[in-house]
Every structure is written in C-alpha cells, then in structure tokens.
Amino acid sequence: MASAESNPLHEDIDVYGMTHVGKVRKSNQDHFLLCSLHKQMEIHGTSLPNPEQLPLRGERLAFMAFVADGVGGHAAGEEASRIALEAVARYVTQSMQCYYTNDSHREHQFLEELTDSVMECHQQVTTEAESSPTRHGMATTLTLAIVVWPWAYVVQVGDSRCYQLRDGELIQLTRDQTVAQELYDKGVLSTAEAIDSKWAHVLASAIGGPEATPVINRIAMQRDDVLMLCSDGLTGYVLEEQIRRRLVEMESSQQVAEALIADALEGGGGDNITVVVGRSKAPVASAV
C-alpha cells in the first residue's frame, strides 16, 4: 500500500545520472534524461517593481527519469535514442498536464495517454529511419519512471531495466523484451541458456523496430526506496547481487552511479553503460 506521506521536499530528493562509452565502443548510443515537472506562473505584464521576487515555480507535480539505448549503427543508434527521449519527454509532459488539470483520480486516462505518448515516439523514430538510408533500421530501447508521489509509473520498451531497492531487497520492475526472454517464458530455454543465448540481446520490442509494445506498471513508493534505471551495458557486466550491495551501501546517488559504472568497466565494459539512480530520503526526526 502506498505511503500517505506528503510529496518529498526538494532537499529530500537525491538523483543522479551518468553515461559512459565503455571500453570497446567508439561512440555512445545511450542517452538519459532527468527532469521534474512543476506548476509554474508566467508573468505577461505587471506594474509591480520586483516581479522576479514572486514565487514563479510552484510545487513539483512529478519527477521523471528516462534511459534509451540506441541500436542500428554508430550514428543511427545515437540518433534513435536522442529522438526517442526528446519526443517522449514532450508527449509525457503534455500527458502529465492533462493528469493534473483533470480529475486526478482518472488514472486510466493518464495511462492511455502515456501509452499514446510512447507510440507517437515510436512513430517519430520510424519516420526518421525511413527518411535516410544512413538511418535505416535504427531503433532504441526506452525505459522511463515517472514518480507522482506516492506512486511510480514505470514504462518499458526493450531491455533497459528499472529496479527498486526496498529494505535491502532488489526488485526488477521491468521484464526484458528480448527473443531469449520470450523463449524462456515459453519454456524453450532454461535460465542459463537464456543468458548465454545468441537471442539474449535481440530485441522483440523496440522504439522504431518492427514492433513496439510498451508495458506500464504502477509501483507504490516509500521514503528511502531507491529506483535505478540502466542500460544493458550495466546488467551485462555486473551481477545483480553486486548491484544490490552497491545500492544498499550507497552514500549518494552520484557516488553509487559512479561505483556501478566502474564495476561495469572492471567487468569488461564491452557496451555503453548508463545508470540513473534516485531516492527520496526519509526526513530526519526533530529532537524534542
């Protein structure tokens, strides 16, 4: 059950994102985005002497984190992930405005708008891919988390992951949309076979690919929960137990992101690596 605590204050939010090209690739096809959406007042005219002193930015409506891992050649993959993040950020922002200007309990409409946002993003990447021979076949994963306290909405297309750490337990909130995962789900491959399979990195669903199937989950959030988004450049080279230990021992989001990237590099670093970490720290109880 979701916590009834109020929306965390700005000083309680600890978030950080980092991407690294890795040891093998010549270019970085990953992109990430961290942003917050606020109620805001725009002044179009006033006789007040100091309008800049007015509270122009209001309460935070949502915090959003996005990770995209592009495929389709050096320039095309980077372009696909860039287009996807820019497009979906615009559409999701519009969806969030709708979520708050209408009845806030109309969650079903918001989820439909969120799905439409991802599919419009998919269409934009597909159109761009068809516009130039050098972009043909480009596609990207897309994983995003939208925290509207006390809920997190996690959207998944592809195999970039989102994890939640709570009370020392690491939970994978997303399911890899790969051919190997589908074969595992059907009982064709064992866990070990799926990990080592040639299909492990073949996407069954991708933005700009032949098929894009967004999956949305709503997750209850509590103070001190940690959310982590990452590309497979991390999970392909760092065991989940090591990720769990790093998050349990984290001093700050920046420190743990840097430590996890270092772990992936030490493990081989054969892919681009992107890590985004966020948590809402529990307020310190005041002394009586």
Q: Supply the pLDDT for residue 209.
A: 93
Q: What pTM does this model have?
A: 0.89
Q: Give the residue carrying structure tokens 């989102």.
A: 162
E strand segments, the chain: 13-20, 30-40, 57-71, 139-140, 142-148, 151-157, 161-166, 169-172, 215-220, 226-230, 273-280
Quick one: average pLDDT of 60-88? Answer: 88
Degrees (nearest 5) of the Cα angle 282, 108, 83? 80
Question: Would you place residue 222 in the very low, low, confident or very high pLDDT band (cuts 50, 70, 90)?
Answer: very high
Name residue 78's beta-bridge partners. none
As a whole number of angstroms, the distance between CA 1 and CA 219 comes to: 9
The pLDDT-based confidence of 8 (bands split at 50, 70, 90) is confident
Q: Given a cut of 50, is residue 166 above it in pLDDT? A: yes
State which of 41-45, 110-114, 231-235 shows the largest mean pLDDT. Answer: 231-235
Query: Is residue 133 pLDDT above 90, yes or no?
Result: no
Structure tokens at 264: 């992936």
Residue 99 has what pLDDT? 66
Cα 58 to chain centroid distance, Å, stands at 24
Mean pLDDT of 98-112: 69
Domain boundaries, the chain: 10-37+59-280
Closest C-alpha to 182, from 194, 192, 168, 173:
194
- pLDDT at 213 exceeding the cut of 80: yes
Say whether pLDDT at 272 is over 60: yes
pLDDT at 246 over 80: yes
**CA distance from start to end of the chain:** 30
Average pLDDT over residues 199-226: 94
pLDDT at residue 286 greater than cutoff 70: no
pLDDT of 103 strictly over 70 = no
Sequence-ordered list of residues with C-beta below 8 angstroms from that of 121, at least 6 positions apart, any chain: 83, 84, 87, 88, 91, 142, 207
Residue 102 confidence (pLDDT) above 60: no
- pLDDT beyond 80 at 2: no
Q: Which residues lie across from 219 on neighbouring strands? A: 152
Mean pLDDT of the chain: 88
Range in 51-60, 140-149, 213-222 the model is least confident about: 51-60
Q: Is 182 helix (H, G, I), strand (E, B) or coil?
A: helix
Mean pLDDT of 5-9: 76
Beta bridge partners of 273: 20
Joined tokens for residue 66: 């996005």
Q: What is the pLDDT of residue 1?
A: 40
Whole-number Å distance between alpha carbons of 288 and 285 = 9
CATH architecture, domain defined by 10-37+59-280: 4-Layer Sandwich (3.60)
Q: Tell me what pLDDT residue 21 has.
A: 97
